[in-house]
Each structure stands twice: as C-alpha cells, then as structure tokens.
Amino acid sequence: MSRVFVSIALVLVPHPSRDRLWRRVPQLLIGLLLYGVSDSFLVLAHLGIDPWDVFQQGLSLHTGIAIGTWAILVGMAVLLLWIPLRQRPGLGTILNVVVIGGVMDLVLSHVTPPTDLISRIGVLLLGIILNGVATGCYIGAGLGPGPRDGIMVGLAARGLSLRLVRTAIEVTVLAIGWALGGNVGWGTLLYALVIGPLAQIFIPRFTPRPLRTTRIIPSASAE
C-alpha cells in the first residue's frame, strides 16, 4: 500500500525535490488523520466551530444547500485562487477532503460529546493544538497543502508573514460567516487568533531538510 502512495506522489508531488517520499507520504497521512480528529474535537466541544465552517454554515442558511456541499464548492472556488499564486495541487490537496471528512464522520459517530464545561474547554483546547500540529505535519510533508492552506502558503512564499496571513484569512472568513448567520462561539475566536502562530511554529519543524550531497573536489595531483 505504501508503494502505491509513493508512486502516486511521484506524479502529483508539487515539490521540486522528491527525496524522502518514504517519510513524506506517511507524514501526510498522519497529518490529515490528526486534522480530522482535531476538527471533530472542535465540533464535540460545542463552544464554536472553526471560521471556515462558520462561513459555510452561513452560506447554507441562505441557500438551503447542505454545509458539506458548500465545503466542496468553497474548496473548488479557493483552488481557482491558486492560479495567480502559481500554486500546484498535489497528493495532499486531493487527499485533504477525503481523509479529513472520513475521519470526522468516524469520530463523531463513535465519540460522545462531553457535557460539563471543564471537559468541553479541555476538548476545545486539545482540538486547536492538534489542529496546529496537523497543519504543520501535512503541509511540511511537501506533497501539496489543502485548498485553503494553499492560499496561506502561496502568500507567505511572497514574503508575507505566515502567522499574519493565516490569522488575516481566518478572521476575514469568520466575519463574513458571522454576518451570514453562522454559529460563532468564543472557541471560534480563539481558533482564529491562535491557529496562525501555531502553524508558524509547527510547519518548519515538520518540514524535512533536503538530503545533503557530497561534492567531490578533484585533487591537485589529478589535474
């Protein structure tokens, strides 16, 4: 199975360097699994969902289209914004929607939401931290970010602060979603303000360094 993913990655990987795929593919999958778990924790806490879901819920309220369908439509629209940023979708981009959504369905169907406030706060904080770790893990794998994270990476590549870019995007989406009637809680605000700094911390830590190559310098006697 791992060989299959590595073969697919060789075709879809957007990174110029394809070394260490044996590490990058598992790291990608672990990151996406953790992302699905972390998103589930935010839902289970019932203290405010993440900004993109607030936005998609607001669209759903005004159109009657399900929030999950809006997630797909918004993701496709965001991918169009990759064109001027010269971002390329990769294996991570494709697996983003499938793996994260599947994990969320699995977790939410088997885990009972906490009832007391202390437990809910703990689940919320754990979800936000895991979300930052997961973002760094799957983006750092270098196999293509998700549609929304691709915008952040593309802007950061042009010299903008990763932390400021992520925070600005989350706050903007949150404001539009709230204006449309999406469900906003204090957990939503905390997520919007904290996820940028967390991403800036964890992405460099999970980005593999290129393999070093030894340069052979001819000796004077060989000349």
Residues 24-74 have pLDDT tens digits of 889 999 999 998 899 889 888 989 888 888 898 789 789 988 766 777 788
| 217: in domain | no
Does the predicted TM-score (pTM) go above 0.75? Answer: no
| 133: in domain | yes
| 216: in domain | no
| 221: in domain | no
* pLDDT > 90 in the chain, percent: 24
| 107: in domain | yes
In this predicted structure, the answer to whether residue 175 has a pLDDT above a threshold of 80 is: yes
Distance, CA of 92 to CA of 69 (rounded, Å): 20
Residues 180-192 have a mean pLDDT of: 87
| 213: in domain | no
Residue numbers of the domain that contains 120 = 20-206
Domain count, the chain: 1
- 186 or 157, greater pLDDT: 186
pLDDT at residue 43, as a whole number: 82
Identify the weakest region by mean pLDDT among 30-39, 110-119, 147-156, 171-180.
147-156
Identify the weakest region by mean pLDDT among 11-20, 40-49, 168-177.
11-20
| 220: in domain | no
| 223: in domain | no
